[in-house]
């Protein structure tokens, strides 16, 4: 019995482990949609570092935020990285959404770039300005035009999705563009001049990780694993910034040094920051969301005011981060 009993225990442990991995493999993946943006890169870094190994997590990189929103509405993905205004746009269509993490706050990462011959904001008058049909585009362009004392109708607005920005500039279909990283770095290398950036409108452009509550039932453990890996990746970026940049550079089509510079325009909220954004009687997310919703109604980007009071969803945040 002294030999048989331990053997039975070992067999139970091994087969139990096998069943665990079989269950993981059989579980439908938690699908997370994003477009290309340095603020979302920690998710992909977590995958690269193996933090999602043996987890049913599938990251989907899409051409634009519009594609991400479309798949979220259709139920083809359970989670999405979006700006807060994009989240409000989906929310107004009746979907029960929860923001499970605040990923970044733009502090120069969103920019208005113009051709080298355009040296001041006032010289945008009569020029073609490419911009996404979103609140982020409207917020940044509105701030720039206000600084130049120009009205919306004094520039020619050219609607463009994010994946069209670089080609439109290169083909001279526009004179200026509201864009973000990594496109902004590549356009600056082509001579584009920064006329305005999000440092002049602080805390108004926020990226979040959002889920459809009706699609995550039974996947709570996987969602916690997603966030645990994400915050581990943030810790890796803080502790090994050069190595993190080297790993992210090929995906972003930038050099490692360009990757590091691109993060200067972003604040990446820590786990403690996220608890402040998402917790409490009046979470910072709700306060910021109401301000953005009011702006969107004013600009007719929302059909009606959307109350973000229920958006904050802190229960999936890890209690601590393993460095």
User: How does 120-147 read in b/e, with b if 16+ C-beta sit within 10 Å?
Assistant: ebebbeebbbbbbebbbbbbbbbbbbee
pLDDT classification of 11: cutoffs 50, 70, 90: very low
Q: What percent of the chain lies above the pLDDT cut of 70?
A: 91
pLDDT of residue 63: 87
Quick one: fold of 24-104+204-316? D-Maltodextrin-Binding Protein; domain 2 (3.40.190)
Q: Please indicate whether the domains covering 24-104+204-316 and 110-200 agree at the CATH topology level.
A: yes
Span 198-213, average pLDDT = 92
User: Residues 68-106: pLDDT tens digits?
Assistant: 999 999 999 999 999 999 999 999 999 999 999 999 999
pLDDT band at 5 (very low <50, low <70, confident <90, very high): very low
pLDDT band for 20, please (50, 70, 90 cuts): very low
**Do 43 and 34 form a contact (C-beta atoms < 8 A)?**
yes
Greater model confidence, 10 or 301: 301
* Planar angle of CA 321, 274, 230, nearest 5 degrees: 45
Which is higher by pLDDT, 26 or 35?
35
User: Distance between CA atoms of 81 and 34, rounded to whole angstroms?
Assistant: 5
| Mean pLDDT confidence for 122-134 | 93
pLDDT value for 128: 97
What is the tens place of the pLDDT at every residue in 240-253?
999 999 999 999 99
Pure H helices in the chain: 4-26, 41-48, 65-74, 84-91, 135-148, 165-170, 183-189, 220-239, 241-252, 256-262, 271-278, 284-298
User: Is residue 7 pLDDT above 70, yes or no?
Assistant: no
Task: Band the pLDDT of 8: cuts 50, 70, 90.
Answer: very low
DSSP 8-state secondary structure symbol assigned to residue 319:
S
Greater model confidence, 48 or 23: 48
Q: pLDDT value at position 12? A: 43
Look at 3-12, 107-116, 122-131 and tell me which has the smallest mean pLDDT. Answer: 3-12
Q: Smallest Cα–Cα separation from 120: which of 142, 103, 145, 85?
A: 145
Cβ–Cβ under 8 Å, residues 222 and 57: yes
110-200 has CATH 3.40.190.10 classification: yes
Burial of 227 (C-beta count, 10 Å sphere; 0-12/13-18/19+)? buried
Q: Residue 49 in contact with residue 233, Cβ under 8 Å? A: yes
In this structure, the strands spanning 193-197 and 30-34 are unpaired
| SS3 call for 35 | coil
Which residues face 254 on adjacent strands? none
Query: What was the pLDDT predicted at 23?
Result: 44
Average pLDDT over residues 31-51: 96
| Predicted pLDDT at 212 | 98
Per-residue pLDDT at 229 exceeds 50: yes
pLDDT at 111 over 80: yes
* Tokens found for residue 171: 């083909």
Taking residue 279's Cβ as centre, other Cβ atoms within 10 Å add up to 14
Cα 143 to Cα 10, 121, 161, 219, 254, distances in angstroms:
66, 11, 20, 41, 28
Residues forming beta bridges with residue 113, ordered by sequence position: 177, 194
- What pLDDT, in 10s, does the model give residues 213-228? 999 999 999 999 999 9
Position 322 confidence tier, pLDDT thresholds 50, 70, 90: low
pLDDT at 1: 38
Task: State mean pLDDT over 24-45.
Answer: 89
- Asked if 288 and 207 count as a contact pair (C-beta separation under 8 A), the reply is no
H or E element that contains 31: strand 30-34
Model pLDDT, residue 135: 77
> Tell me, what's the pLDDT at 25?
52
Give DSSP secondary structure letters for 89-102. Answer: HHHTTT--EEEEEE
pLDDT score recorded for residue 180: 87
Output the DSSP codes for 271-304: HHHHHHHH-SSS-HHHHHHHHHHHHHHHTTSSSS
Say if strands 176-180 and 128-131 run parallel, antiparallel, or are unpaired. Answer: parallel
Q: Where are the domains of the chain?
A: 24-104+204-316, 110-200
């Amino acid at each position: 019995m002294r030999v048989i009993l331990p053997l039975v225990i070992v067999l139970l442990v091994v087969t139990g482990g096998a069943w665990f991995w079989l269950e993981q493999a059989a579980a439908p993946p938690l699908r997370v949609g994003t477009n290309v943006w340095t603020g979302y890169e920690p998710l992909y870094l977590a995958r690269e570092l193996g933090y999602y190994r043996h987890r049913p997590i599938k990251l989907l990189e899409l051409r634009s935020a519009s594609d991400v929103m479309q798949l979220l509405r259709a139920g083809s993905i359970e989670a999405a990285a979006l700006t807060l205004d994009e989240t409000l746009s989906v929310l107004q269509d009746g979907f029960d959404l929860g923001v499970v993490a605040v990923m970044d706050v733009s502090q120069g990462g969103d920019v208005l770039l113009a051709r080298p011959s355009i040296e001041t904001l006032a010289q945008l008058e009569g020029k073609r300005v490419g911009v996404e049909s979103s609140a982020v585009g409207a917020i940044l362009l509105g701030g720039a035009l206000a600084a130049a004392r120009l009205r919306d109708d004094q520039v020619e607005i050219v609607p463009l999705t994010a994946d069209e920005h670089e080609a439109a500039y290169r083909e001279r279909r526009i004179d200026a563009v509201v864009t973000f990283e990594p496109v902004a770095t590549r356009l600056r290398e082509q001579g584009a001049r920064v006329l305005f950036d999000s440092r002049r409108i602080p805390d108004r452009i926020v990226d979040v990780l959002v889920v459809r509550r009706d699609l995550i039932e039974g996947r709570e453990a996987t969602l916690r694993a997603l966030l645990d890996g994400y915050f581990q990746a943030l810790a890796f970026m803080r502790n090994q910034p050069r190595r993190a940049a080297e790993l992210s550079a090929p995906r972003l089509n930038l050099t490692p040094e360009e990757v590091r510079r691109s993060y200067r325009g972003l604040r990446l909220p820590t786990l403690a920051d996220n608890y402040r954004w998402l917790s409490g009687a009046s979470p910072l997310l709700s306060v910021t969301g109401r301000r953005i919703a009011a702006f969107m109604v004013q600009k007719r980007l929302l059909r009606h005011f959307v109350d973000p009071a229920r958006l904050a969803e802190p229960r999936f945040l890890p209690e601590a981060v393993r460095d």
